[in-house]
Structures are given as structure tokens and as C-alpha cells.
């Protein structure tokens, strides 16, 4: 997981606009990329976002540090 996060952060620094556009696309339910995802992606995505919602509800996610 650490290697993945490091690679993702490196790509984000190298291609900030592309990273932002991809992130927005994914958070919007991937309307333009749906054909590239397998069936069940939306269920998988909802399960993963539920983890973040739980962290936020428990105060474990500091929203003030997120970039705007």
C-alpha cells in the first residue's frame, strides 16, 4: 500500500491537472469512464466511500487539511 500511495503522489505532482480531472470524474461516478469499468464498480465505489464517511463521522478525517 505504501508503494501505491507514493506512486500516486508522484504522479499527482507530475500531472496535477490530469490527476484533478480524474479525481473529479471518479467522485462523480465516472460518467465518462463507465465503459472502462467492469460491472459492479459503483457498488465497489460505494463500499469504499462508506469507509471515508465513517472516518468523517468519527472525527478521524480532518476536513480542514483538504485542498480546495
pTM, 2 dp: 0.45
Check residue 59 and give its pLDDT: 80
Interatomic CA distance for residues 31 and 34, integer angstroms? 6
Burial group, residue 46, by CB count within 10 angstroms (0-12, 13-18, 19+) = exposed
Interatomic CA distance for residues 7 and 62, integer angstroms? 23
Q: Which of the residue ranges 15-19, 29-33, 64-68 would you say has the lowest mean pLDDT? A: 64-68
Using the predicted structure, report yes or no on whether residue 14 has a pLDDT greater than 90: yes
More confident residue, 39 or 68: 39
> In the structure, what pLDDT confidence band is assigned to residue 17 with cuts at 50, 70 and 90?
very high
Interatomic CA distance for residues 55 and 21, integer angstroms? 25
Over residues 36-61, the mean pLDDT reads 79
User: Structural domain boundaries of the chain?
Assistant: 2-62
Amino acid at each position: 500500500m505504501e508503494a501505491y500511495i507514493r506512486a500516486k503522489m508522484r504522479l499527482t505532482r507530475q500531472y496535477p491537472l490530469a490527476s484533478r480531472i480524474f479525481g473529479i470524474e471518479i467522485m462523480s461516478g465516472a460518467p465518462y469512464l463507465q465503459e472502462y469499468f467492469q460491472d459492479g464498480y459503483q457498488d465497489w465505489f460505494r463500499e469504499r466511500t462508506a469507509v471515508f464517511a465513517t472516518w468523517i463521522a468519527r472525527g478521524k478525517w480532518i476536513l480542514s487539511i483538504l485542498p480546495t
